Amino acid sequence: MIIIRDEQKIARLKRLSKWLSTAGIVALVIGMILAFTSTTNALALQLVALGFGWIFSQVGMYLAHRYVRDPRPDEVVDKALGKVTRKGRLYHYLLPASHVLLMETGLIVIVAKYQGGKISVENDKWQQKGLGMRKFFGQENLGNPTREAEDSVKALAAYIHKHAPEIEEVPIGALIVFTAVEPKDLDLKGSQIPAMHHSKVKSYLRRKRRTQPLSDEYYNALRAAFDLRATHLLTQDVDQEVNDVKETES
């Protein structure tokens, strides 16, 4: 399996996350200091500082959970998939959906969720319990993974329609993967979209391999359409391989 990842985007958003988090802390400290001053505009300035501090901190936390935490969600997905498909191509942060797996049997949009607590779903209504104060500090809410998956599938389908119009219809599956929570804290039987702990992904995909494969024409068209967004990365990989060969020969 080939993994194509936009490392430059990850590095850029990682730096932005750290900058916003630092700026948020500074703004919050300034807001607290202003609470002890008696200038005319102190209250207004305090509210502005606290407002910006909260916004910066929230955005910084949002980015940190995706691009700073170790391991990152995309790295957990890499390990979960392993070498399950010979012709597989895994695209991270390049397409309208964050994680897309192209296989001989079709496409799978992967929605990676890092959130913790006790997570359950019934008729696609998700619940997250057992967080305590983490629900208010440092923990992004679970949201609705089903809706995220559906939106990602629609966005990817629109991209394919635009960049590979010769493909009339292609199966696009969705998979919700929990990358951090313990398996015992997951009750996912009520999800209409396949949802599972990352340790179960490999066996799930092995079963998917038994389905009817895509035609070579469709597979190659999808690969070409997706690789359009990774041209700069693929060129770098080819150049590196050429340099490695030259060094070996010399």
Burial code of 63-75, b = ≥16 C-beta within 10 A, e = fewer? bbbbbbeeebbbb
Query: Is residue 241 assigned to a domain?
Result: no
Looking at this protein, which amino acid is placed at residue 145?
Answer: P
Query: Is residue 89 assigned to a domain?
Result: yes
Looking at this protein, which amino acid is placed at residue 192?
Answer: Q
Query: Is residue 15 assigned to a domain?
Result: yes
Residues 38 and 142 reside in one and the same domain: no
Structural element, H or E, at residue 221: helix 216-227
Determine the Cα–Cα distance for residues 212 and 207; give it in Å rounded to an integer: 12
Query: Is residue 242 assigned to a domain?
Result: no
How many domains in the chain?
2
Residues 124 and 46 reside in one and the same domain: no
Determine the Cα–Cα distance for residues 125 and 147; give it in Å rounded to an integer: 10
The residues that bridge with 173 in the sheet, in sequence order, are 108
Residues 160 and 188 reside in one and the same domain: yes
- Quick one: which of 188, 198, 175 has its CA closest to 75? 198
Residues 193 and 117 reside in one and the same domain: yes
Query: Is residue 245 assigned to a domain?
Result: no
Query: Is residue 103 assigned to a domain?
Result: yes
Query: Looking at residue 171, what is its pLDDT?
Result: 84
pLDDT in tens, 67-106: 999 999 999 999 999 877 777 899 999 999 999 999 988 8
Determine the Cα–Cα distance for residues 79 and 124; give it in Å rounded to an integer: 27
Compute the CA torsion angle 152, 153, 155, 161 (nearest 10 deg).
160
- Residue linked to tokens 């993974």: 145
Two tokens, residue 7: 């490392």
Query: Looking at residue 131, what is its pLDDT?
Result: 66
With H, G, I as helix, E, B as strand and everything else as coil, classify residue 167.
coil
Residues 215 and 154 reside in one and the same domain: yes
Residues 147 and 23 reside in one and the same domain: no
Query: Looking at residue 243, what is its pLDDT?
Result: 43
Query: Looking at residue 184, what is its pLDDT?
Result: 85
Which of 11, 41, 67 is the endpoint of a domain? Answer: 67
Residues 207 and 160 reside in one and the same domain: yes
Query: Looking at residue 132, what is its pLDDT?
Result: 63
Residues 6 and 39 reside in one and the same domain: yes
Residues 85 and 62 reside in one and the same domain: no
Residues 132 and 148 reside in one and the same domain: yes
Query: Is residue 214 assigned to a domain?
Result: yes
Domain region containing 115: 73-234
Query: Is residue 146 assigned to a domain?
Result: yes
Q: In what order do the strands lie in the sheet with 195-197?
A: 2-5, 89-92, 99-103, 106-113, 172-178, 195-197
Question: pLDDT tens track of the chain, all 250 residues?
Answer: 899 999 999 999 999 999 999 999 999 999 888 888 877 788 888 899 999 999 999 999 899 989 999 999 999 999 999 877 777 899 999 999 999 999 988 899 999 999 888 999 998 899 988 766 555 555 668 889 999 999 999 999 999 999 999 988 888 999 999 998 788 889 999 999 999 999 999 988 888 766 778 889 999 999 999 999 888 787 654 344 334 434 444 4
